[in-house]
Structure 1
């Protein structure tokens, strides 16, 4: 099946998710530094979440550059990813409004863990459809970065019950790790472009 509708639908859902996060930001009640400080946690959460959604959009785009076609299993795996991405705005707001208390922070970290797991499942569904000799399978290899990420996100969830600062430090580090699109796919695409010229 053609992948263009899946890509267009995914782009639409991701853009709505980003828009919902923006609408959750409140203007400070006071026009002072204290007023800004009361919204600081919420604004930090918004920036981090915006980066995370951007990372998934960027990597999703790169991923589908090497996918030949889709099937029902890939479509459901993609919807699973989109579901978890749409949960980011509500958990961002809850964690920010709470002042980063343990339970909202744990839920926020859990949603980011589920996004990572859903992305990994999507990759596996594509590899299962296209075969172990596919471009995606060969570019990802053993996917140590993806597997390690799942463990680190799980650690962040557990850590949130003891230290929310440590949790957000872990989540910020993970955002930095994934900020640039998957270099393995970019290298493959660059090589393809070079062979065409």
Structure 2
């Protein structure tokens, strides 16, 4: 790797932090208010709250993952920057897709697009992980933290299972599997 093309990560991390903060803010602003100030009114919005929870946890997990990884990345290059920009583009669709699923929880189309967003995030993280390990040679922390099996492949397989169940007539399974993969990822990251 040509040392002249490498740069530090500070600006990328700051940009990523700002994007995640904006997405989380938009997520909460898009939550509908109950029609009545009653428990029944709140319960009527349970699907909206569920999709908000899943989407919030995705954003929080991605922020934590990014923070933990980039604390140990010495240098990046333009490919890593563009992979992060692509990742932020896909993440920026989360608020839109959250509302789409909240309004259409039993729609295979809405659930599939929501799940596809998660799959795209997973694929981008896979490519980025491989490349980060390559340009930050001899970094044992990165090799362990970017363990492809635990961080990328198992969530990908779980999401595929969710898609299969969704296509078999239970579209909400895709959102449920998204939640399971996020909870699994959070538990894995706090070990």
Q: TM-score, normalised by structure 2?
A: 0.86
Q: Does 1:67 align with 2:85?
A: no
State the shift of 1:169 in Å: 2.8
Q: Distance in 1 between matches of 2:59 and 2:130?
A: 21
Corresponding position of 1:189: none
Q: Please, which runs of 5 or more residues in structure 2 have no aligned partner? A: 1-6
Q: Distance in 1 between matches of 2:96 and 2:126?
A: 23
Q: Does 1:43 align with 2:49?
A: yes
Corresponding position of 1:32: 38
Aligned residues: 183
Q: Deviations over 1:129-172 (max 9, x none)?
A: 223x3335532475211212112223323332321343233222
Q: How is 1:107-186 mapped onto 2 (pairs within 5 angstroms)?
A: 107-131=113-137, 133-140=138-145, 143-145=148-150, 146-161=152-167, 162-180=169-187, 182=189
Structure 1 runs, 4 residues or longer, greater than 4 Å off = none
Corresponding position of 1:195: none
Q: Distance in 2 between matches of 1:141 and 1:56?
A: 13
Q: Distance in 1 between matches of 2:114 and 2:107?
A: 11
Q: Please, which runs of 5 or more residues in structure 1 have no aligned partner? A: 187-197
Q: Is the 8 A contact 1:49 1:92 kept in 2?
A: yes
Q: Distance in 2 between matches of 1:140 and 1:34?
A: 44
State the shift of 1:43 in Å: 1.1
Q: Does 1:87 align with 2:68?
A: no
Q: TM-score, normalised by structure 1?
A: 0.84
State the shift of 1:30 in Å: 2.6
Corresponding position of 2:63: 57
Q: Distance in 2 between matches of 1:7 and 1:44?
A: 29
CA RMSD in angstroms comes to 2.0
